[in-house]
Amino acid sequence: KNEVEQSPQNLTAQEGEFITINCSYSVGISALHWLQQHPGGGIVSLFMLSSGKKKHGRLIATINIQEKHSSLHITASHPRDSAVYTCAVRIDSNYQLIWGAGTKLIIKP
Amino acid sequence: NAGVMQNPRHLVRRRGQEARLRCSPMKGHSHVYWYRQLPEEGLKFMVYLQKENIIDESGMPKERFSAEFPKEGPSILRIQQVVRGDSAAYFCASSTLALSTGELFFGEGSRLTVL
């Protein structure tokens, strides 16, 4: 079993829909990152969380440390939100990030 | 404030040649991370450096790959005697502090193609 599990793997939705991407992990962490990568493009760090909730524009990220779970929400989704979204956790025992497999999101107009 | 700068953006090499990828972290950032992304796959950690020190190179192949982050100048990822399997996107990221406390910023990546 992977230490970081993301769901769904693929998600196709209509423009305007509310999107939720989930990330569960099985290790103790000090921080969790959500990242976005457009096809053939660079990587953008969306959020870094260690507790609670953060909001940036139409993006909201939450984390529940006790349940070892984080969610990324996109409100009023738009075709330009189409990208791969990946969560990555940093565990205390080393310097590496453990990456989820990514969620490929397609928003249709 | 410029972001993380990587160059070249695209690099083509023939088998057996050397590839040098450069990463200039954001101003004020002293922590640099290199990741490799194979086609259709996620990012894989390679190496974590601070100025003049390699902190963690556990993700680096034992042969042909090396990395440095000198006191002055960019971080360099060097791949000697490249093979077709080295074709990938190589991403650099930087942060002000160790990952547990610092935000992570990525460069646009360097895409290596080995012919």
Which pLDDT does position B99 carry in this prediction?
55
Is residue A93 very low, low, confident or very high in pLDDT (cuts 50, 70, 90)?
low
A30/B contact by beta carbon, under 8 A: yes
Share of chain A above pLDDT 70, in %: 95
What is the model's pLDDT at position B90? 96
Chain B CB contacts of A101 under 8 Å are: 42
- Greater pLDDT, A3 or B8: B8
**Mean pLDDT to the nearest integer, B66-84:** 95
In this complex, the residue of B91, B93, B100 whose CB is nearest that of residue A30 is B100
- Looking at the complex, does the CB of residue A28 fall below 8 Å from at least one CB of chain B? no
Is B55's Cβ below 8 Å from some Cβ in A?
yes
Check if B104 contacts A (Cβ < 8 Å). yes
pLDDT tens digits for B38-57? 887 778 889 999 988 998 89
pLDDT average, residue stretch B21-37: 92
Give chain B's length: 115
Mean pLDDT, all residues of chain A: 91
User: Residue A90: what pLDDT?
Assistant: 84
Subunit contact B56:A95, Cβ cutoff 8 A: yes
Greater confidence (B105 vs B90) lies with B90
pLDDT of residue B30: 87
Helix, strand, coil share of chain B (percent; to 5): 5, 50, 50
pLDDT at B58 over 60: yes
Read off the pLDDT of each residue in A73-99 and give the average, rounded to a whole number. Answer: 87
Quickly list DSSP for A33-61: EEEEE-TT--EEEEEEESSEEEEETTEEE
Contacts of B103 in chain A (CB under 8 A): 45, 48
pLDDT over threshold 70, residue A94: no
> Which stretch of A46-55, A81-90, A91-100, B78-87 has the lowest confidence by average pLDDT?
A91-100
- Are residues B98 and A43, on separate chains, in Cβ contact within 8 Å? no
Count of all residues that appear for chain A in the document:
109
The Cα of B73 is separated from the nearest Cα of chain A by a number of Å equal to: 22
In degrees and rounded to multiples of 5, residue A80 shows phi and psi of -70, -10
Q: Does A91 touch chain B (CB under 8 A)?
A: no
Distance from CA of B100 to the nearest CA of A (A): 5
CA distance A81 to B91: 21
Q: Which of A6, A19, A28, A32 is nearest to A102 (CA)?
A: A6
Read off the pLDDT of each residue in B3-8 and give the average, rounded to a whole number. 94
